[in-house]
């Protein structure tokens, strides 16, 4: 038999809110206006950590660790990066850093490469990533300013196309010993497509410094607007980079203009190549000088 001594019992705790306050039951006011957390709204560095942990670290049945990781890269390339903008950026960060060494190893000398969309002068970044993605540390910290989509850097698209082709070839080679990687698969990319895209980026770089190429819509700059009223006004027009392309051939390099309103394309600058191994920087500078002369002669868009 249990005897309850009411005098020794503790008093009940005080109420959490005073009776005079107008308390609201949960959900509390303002909680419904908060955005619901989702996979796409995660901070970039947390999203990268999650994606890095998606790579298998052990073998399974008849598949080794490297083969499973290659299949994960293929899944990122064809499926995962299409989920959202933030997931696309995180996936491309992993894919580009993984396959950049393979991309640069196939460059034809003396051609150069800078496939990343940097608006500032390129930094001296050393990439030590192998075909197996890193799993322990993240070597770069994403910034709040996400890169532009699509990028004005045209070699970036060439690198992305190379990645899409390379991940497929790697998975097919792992799936069957009968699949042989064809040499001509990447030959056209690095003999014509990559040098042409790199030359276009160099034309944009040197053209912006010379004031004859802009990224936005065509504008008009008047360097002598503050001069005397009797002096003749010299006007330098800048051509939008989106309207320019390079015709890269073994014996010549030409700058092609695509006018607005679907007019016919025409060559506005052309220079011969001294040799097949001429550096792209030399050809781009000569094209910019020819473009300056074309604008000075009154060339029309």
Task: Give the per-residue pLDDT at 6.
Answer: 67
Which of the listed ranges 120-124, 126-130, 135-139, 270-274 does the model predict with the highest average pLDDT? 270-274
Task: Give the per-residue pLDDT at 31.
Answer: 54
Asked if pLDDT for residue 275 goes beyond 60, the answer is yes
Residues 88 and 125 in one domain: yes
- Which pTM was predicted? 0.71
Task: Give the per-residue pLDDT at 129.
Answer: 40
Task: Write the DSSP string, the chain.
Answer: -----GGGSPPPPPPSS-TTS---PSSPTTGGGSPPP-GGGS-HHHHHHHHHTTS--S-BTTB-HHHHHHHHHHHHHHTGGGS-HHHHHHHHHHHHHHHHHHHHHTPPTT-----S--SSPPP-------SSPP-S-------SSPPPSS-S-HHHHHHHHHHHHHHHHHHHHHH-TT----THHHHHIIIIIHHHHHHHHHHHHHHHHHTSEESSS-EEE-TTTTS-TTSPPP-EEEEEGGGEEEEE-SSEEEEEE--STTPPPEEEEEEE-S-TT--HHHHHHHHHHHHHHHHHTT---
pLDDT digits (tens, 9 = 90+) for 55-103: 988 888 777 888 899 999 999 999 999 999 999 999 999 999 999 999 9
Residue 22 belongs to some domain of the structure:
no
Residue 16 belongs to some domain of the structure:
no
Task: Give the per-residue pLDDT at 13.
Answer: 76
176: pLDDT confidence band, cut at 50, 70 and 90? confident
Task: Give the per-residue pLDDT at 232.
Answer: 36
Domain of residue 68, residue span: 39-181
Domain boundary among 151, 181, 211: 181
Task: Give the per-residue pLDDT at 115.
Answer: 87
Residues 157 and 111 in one domain: yes
Asked if pLDDT for residue 156 goes beyond 50, the answer is yes
* Range 197-212 average pLDDT: 93
Residue 25 belongs to some domain of the structure:
no
Residue 202 belongs to some domain of the structure:
yes
Residue 133 belongs to some domain of the structure:
yes
Residue 174 belongs to some domain of the structure:
yes
pLDDT digits (tens, 9 = 90+) for 108-132: 888 999 987 555 444 333 333 445 5
> Pick from 266, 265, 246: which is nearest to 254 by CA?
246
Residues 203 and 152 in one domain: no
Residues 149 and 196 in one domain: no
Domain boundary among 150, 181, 212: 181
Return the number of other C-beta atoms located less than 10 Å from residue 284's C-beta.
24
- Output 262 or 178, whichever has higher pLDDT: 178
Share of the chain above pLDDT 90, in %: 41
Residues 117 and 198 in one domain: no
In the chain, the number of structural domains is: 2
- For the chain, the C-alpha Rg in angstroms (whole number) is 30
Residues 48 and 171 in one domain: yes
Residues 204 and 155 in one domain: no
12: pLDDT confidence band, cut at 50, 70 and 90? confident
Mean model confidence pLDDT for the chain: 78
Residues 135 and 48 in one domain: yes
**Rounded Cα distance, 134 and 300, in Å:** 51
Task: Give the per-residue pLDDT at 120.
Answer: 44
* Range 153-168 average pLDDT: 92
Task: Give the per-residue pLDDT at 138.
Answer: 38
27: pLDDT confidence band, cut at 50, 70 and 90? low
Residues 245 and 172 in one domain: no
Residue 8 belongs to some domain of the structure:
no
Task: Give the per-residue pLDDT at 2.
Answer: 64
35: pLDDT confidence band, cut at 50, 70 and 90? confident
Strands 244-248 and 266-272: unpaired
Residues 161 and 220 in one domain: no
Residues 49 and 91 in one domain: yes
Residues 211 and 155 in one domain: no
Give bridge partners of residue 298 from the DSSP assignment.
Answer: none
Domain boundary among 181, 214, 248: 181
Task: Give the per-residue pLDDT at 60.
Answer: 80
Residue 6 belongs to some domain of the structure:
no
């Amino acid at each position: 038999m249990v005897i309850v001594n009411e005098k020794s019992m503790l008093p009940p705790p005080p109420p959490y809110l005073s009776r005079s306050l107008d308390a609201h039951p949960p959900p509390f006011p303002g909680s419904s206006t908060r955005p619901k957390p989702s996979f796409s709204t995660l901070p970039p560095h947390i999203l990268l950590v999650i994606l890095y942990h998606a790579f298998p670290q052990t073998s399974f049945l008849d598949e080794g660790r490297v083969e499973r990781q290659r299949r994960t890269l293929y899944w990122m390339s064809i499926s995962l990066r299409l989920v959202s903008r933030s997931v696309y950026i995180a996936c491309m960060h992993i894919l580009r850093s993984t396959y950049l060494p393979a991309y640069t190893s196939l460059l034809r000398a003396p051609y150069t490469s800078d496939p990343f969309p940097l608006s500032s002068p390129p930094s001296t970044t050393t990439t030590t990533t192998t075909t197996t993605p890193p799993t322990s540390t993240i070597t770069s910290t994403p910034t709040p300013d996400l890169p532009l989509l699509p990028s004005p850097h045209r070699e970036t698209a060439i690198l992305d196309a190379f990645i899409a082709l390379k991940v497929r070839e790697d998975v097919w080679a792992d799936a069957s010993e009968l699949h042989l990687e064809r040499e001509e698969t990447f030959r056209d990319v690095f003999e014509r497509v990559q040098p042409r895209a790199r030359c276009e980026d160099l034309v944009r770089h040197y053209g912006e410094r010379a004031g004859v190429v802009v990224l936005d819509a065509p504008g008009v700059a008047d360097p002598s607007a503050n001069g005397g009223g009797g002096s003749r006004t010299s006007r330098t027009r800048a051509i939008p980079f989106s309207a320019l392309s390079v015709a890269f051939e073994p014996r010549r390099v030409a700058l092609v203009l695509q006018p607005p309103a679907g007019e016919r394309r025409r060559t506005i600058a052309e220079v011969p190549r001294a040799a097949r191994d001429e550096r792209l920087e030399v050809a781009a500078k000569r094209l910019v000088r020819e473009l300056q002369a074309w604008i000075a002669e009154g060339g029309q868009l």
